[in-house]
Amino acid sequence: MRTVTLSAGRRLSQSDLNRTGALPEEVMAAAEKIVDDVRERGDAAVRECCLRFDRACPTSFRVPDELVAGALELVPPEFLAALTRARDQIRSFHEREREQSWFTTRADGTLLGVQVTPVASAAVYVPGGRAQYPSTVLMDTIPAKVAGVGRVVMLTPPQSDGTLSAYTLAAAALAGVDEVYAVGGAQAVAAAAYGTETIPAVEKIVGPGNAYVAAAKRYVSGDVGIDMVAGPSEVCVLADATADPVVVAADLMAQAEHDPMASCYLVTCDDELPGRVLGAVERLVAQSPREDVTRASLDERGVVVVAEDLGAAVDAVNVIAPEHLELHCEDALGLVGRIRNAGAIFVGAWSSEPLGDYVAGPNHTLPTGGTARFSSPLGVYDFQKRSSVICYTPEGLLADAEATQTLAQAEGLWAHALSVGLRRRLAEGGEAVTEGAHRVAWPEDLPAPAGVPLPGLGGRG
């Protein structure tokens, strides 16, 4: 892990973090080509992509419902019990996120408010192939169901032998997925966005995936909704002298073993802690069955930040804006209010990040790559839409008409002012259409706005 020392008032910068940044141009170009092909040729293009990239393609993309339900009988009882516990706690947490419609009435009878409705359909993408993620099925499906989405489909690639994991299918059955399609990659995103002969289109696509999935989601965004463009996993551990270096080492490794591209950050104001943590990493990583992946991540993407004091360390964390943040500090709970940028905050030494991955309840689909500066975890709100509701009475119209007409005139929008002015005449007991009726749409003429001279430009002809 590379060390960055912050001294003499130096602040952490983005260049210190060794992040990969935007999706590579070649990945975007390849994903766009796949999406365009699927949009044009439908199932045939999807099938070609599945055979080319996954080396497996079922006769029918739709997984029969009986196979999904039957997976519950194929998994060990202890797994099903754990999955059920996770489902119940995830649902309990997300039910508190559900937004409700609301309305308010002014004294003049004008009614204003917000009507909240779910999207009609959503696709959850679940990575497959080399690894299985039944936890992601729960995390992405349950908020959609709590929001009231009527049709939730799951997209997941088959394994090279043409099978799907019983663990993943059991999670789909337990979470209430309505349809399962054995297709992955950019082609799955394209099919969900635009529809094919056998895969109906959806209104929103969520869930993590590889770089090609992320690129495809970015490309179709705007035609359909997406949750985020997810990058490699990240963890940041903020630790002081009270932290257990072995536990911190294990927590860094827990993220590093995901992917060689995963980013791991240790931020501390204790000069001796990094050495103890890195020594523990060396002892532990040799025991890991994923040693190669873990070492690659820590060696290439790991950063240790040594700050002058706790305030500077917290400032560094907010610059990193990590996906996962662990607080291994004496007063961990007292620091929460000082954290502005983090996808999920794990408070205290007992709050292992894997608890959040699986069973705690908050969502594990989180903003990566520093996007926690402006993004949030996946939640029920991602599957709900808000419509403004505006209902005026004649009295309310008269109260707001003049201001509306004045602003319309300032913007030079004649018919805007006319629309309100005609109603104003009616509310005052007159007739809407009379000779010269357009004249009443305008208040007294506004003077031309004075120009505001800009430095270096003002006053020039």
Task: Please state the rounded mean pLDDT for residues 13-30.
Answer: 86
The total of other beta-carbon atoms located within 10 Å of residue 308's CB is 14
439 pLDDT above the threshold of 90: no
Query: pLDDT by residue (tens digit) across 284-300?
Result: 999 999 999 999 999 99
Choose, from 94, 203, 258, 324, the residue flagged as catalytic: 324
Helix, strand or coil, per DSSP, at residue 335:
helix
Pairing of strands 263-268, 302-306: parallel
pLDDT at 159: 84
Q: In the predicted model, is pLDDT for residue 21 greater than 80?
A: no
Query: How far apart are the two ends of the chain, measured CA to CA in Å?
Result: 60
Q: What is the pLDDT of residue 9?
A: 80
Would you say 168 and 68 are in contact if contact means Cβ atoms under 8 Å apart? no
Rounded to whole angstroms, the Cα distance separating 454 from 392 reads 41
Q: What is 51-95 written as a DSSP string? A: IIIIS---SSSBPPHHHHHHGGGTS-HHHHHHHHHHHHHHHHHHH
How much is the pTM?
0.91
Residues 228 and 345: their CA atoms lie apart, in Å, by 19
Q: Is 19's pLDDT higher than 90?
A: no
Determine the pLDDT at residue 457.
75
Q: Which fold has domain 2-20+232-360?
A: Rossmann fold (3.40.50)
456: left (phi over 0), alpha (psi -120 to 50) or beta: left
324 a catalytic residue: yes
User: What's phi and psi for 309, nearest 5 deg?
Assistant: -150, 180
Higher pLDDT, 114 or 258: 114
Predicted local distance difference test score (pLDDT) of residue 30: 97
Residues 6+ apart with CB under 8 A from 279: 245
The domain locations on the chain are: 2-20+232-360, 25-99+119-229, 392-441
Superfamily of domain 25-99+119-229, CATH level 4:
Nitrogenase molybdenum iron protein domain (3.40.50.1980)
Q: Which of 193, 162, 149, 146 is nearest to 55 (CA)?
A: 162
Which residues, other chains included, contact 411 with Cβ-Cβ below 8 Å and sequence gap of 6+? Answer: none
Query: Which of these, 371, 310, 363, lies nearest to 342 by C-alpha position?
Result: 371
pLDDT more than 70, % of the chain: 95
Q: Are 428 and 398 in contact (CB under 8 A)?
A: yes
Q: Which position has the token pair 């995901």? A: 258
Asked if the domains 2-20+232-360 and 25-99+119-229 are classified in one and the same CATH topology, the answer is yes
| Residues 401-438: tens digit of each pLDDT | 999 999 998 888 889 999 999 999 899 987 766 555 45
Quick check: 454 pLDDT over 90?
no
Given 203, 234, 257, 323, the catalytic residue: 323
Q: Which of 74-78, 101-105, 260-264, 350-354 has the lowest mean pLDDT?
A: 260-264
Which residue type, as a one-letter code, is found at position 178? Answer: D
Our answer to whether residue 323 is catalytic in this structure is yes
Tally the C-alpha atoms within 13 A of residue 316's C-alpha that lie toward its C-beta: 31
